[in-house]
Amino acid sequence: MAKERQAQMTGMISNTDLGKAESHTQAQQARILIAAKACFVESGFHCASVANIAKTAGMSPGLIYRYFENKNAIIFAIIEQQLLESRNKIRALRAADDLGPAVLNYLDSSDGSSDESVGTSLFLEMSAEATRDSEIAEALGRYDNAMRVELADLLNRSASGGDKKPTTPVAPERVLALVCMIEGLMIRKAREPNLDRKALKSAIDIIINSLLN
């Protein structure tokens, strides 16, 4: 009985230790990703070295390599993090009565001001790097495909007036148009931060209505 109790206590301690280790790993990875985003925006992917990222994170380069194999692995993790955040935001749009203002709010929340967000500057850096690095291009391609699935579902639900299955699914070309609109507006807002919100909302409404009708 004593041995059984000891075994149970050992198991509990092991599980607790594993939980703490996992939490520590996640915290360290998050710290590295925040530092990496700052470095990539400031210096670009090529000039931002692992040493730069380590200095910004307040770590040694060796410690960085304990959590990420190389710089590309850090970029892949940023893309995956952005995919999760974007998916959650798009799924939240499904409850919106008016898709136009909801898309405008989505753009406001995607300005890179949070630790999880990829702002316009980093988005452009990633897109440019994809033209030079096939692995990053492939990772961004997976991101694009997943986002188009989410946006297609959003347009289908909006076109059918809720959760009803649409008689005719929205064409892929309309989904592509929505992607281009969102990405284009991200860039426009970065270049013209004082853009009149009323005019911006009207422009979004025009595009959304044309996509749904």
Cα–Cα distance, 193 to 5 (Å, whole number): 64
Cα dihedral sign for 97, 185, 155, 142? negative
CA dihedral 117, 58, 135, 107 (to 10 degrees): 10
What are the CA-CA distances from residue 154 to residues 102, 160, 167, 207 (Å)?
A: 12, 10, 15, 15
CB atoms within 10 A of CB 39: 24
> Which carries the bigger pLDDT value, residue 93 or residue 150?
150
| pTM exceeding 0.95 | no
Q: Considering the chain, what percentage of its residues have pLDDT values greater than 70? A: 84
Tens of pLDDT, residues 19-65: 788 888 999 999 999 999 999 988 888 889 999 999 999 999 999 99
pLDDT of residue 191: 84
Other CB atoms within a 10 A radius of the CB of residue 182 amount to 19
pLDDT the model gives residue 182: 87
DSSP string, 74-107: HHHHHHHHHHHHHHHHHHHHTT-S-HHHHHHHHH
What would the mean pLDDT of 118-141 be, rounded to a whole number?
A: 87
pLDDT digits (tens, 9 = 90+) for 164-192: 565 677 788 988 998 898 888 888 888 88
Of the candidates 96, 113, 115, the one whose C-alpha atom is nearest the C-alpha of residue 27 is 115
Q: Do 212 and 158 meet the contact criterion of CB atoms below 8 Å apart? A: yes
Number of H helices, E strands in the chain: 9, 0
Q: Please state, as a whole number, how many other Cβ atoms lie within 10 Å of the Cβ of residue 189.
A: 18
Closest CA to 133 of 65, 73, 49, 52: 73
* Matching residue, tokens 């940023």: 78
Residue with tokens 């630790």, as numbered in its chain: 115
Q: Which domains does the chain have, with CATH numbers?
A: 1-68 (1.10.10.60), 72-213 (1.10.357.10)
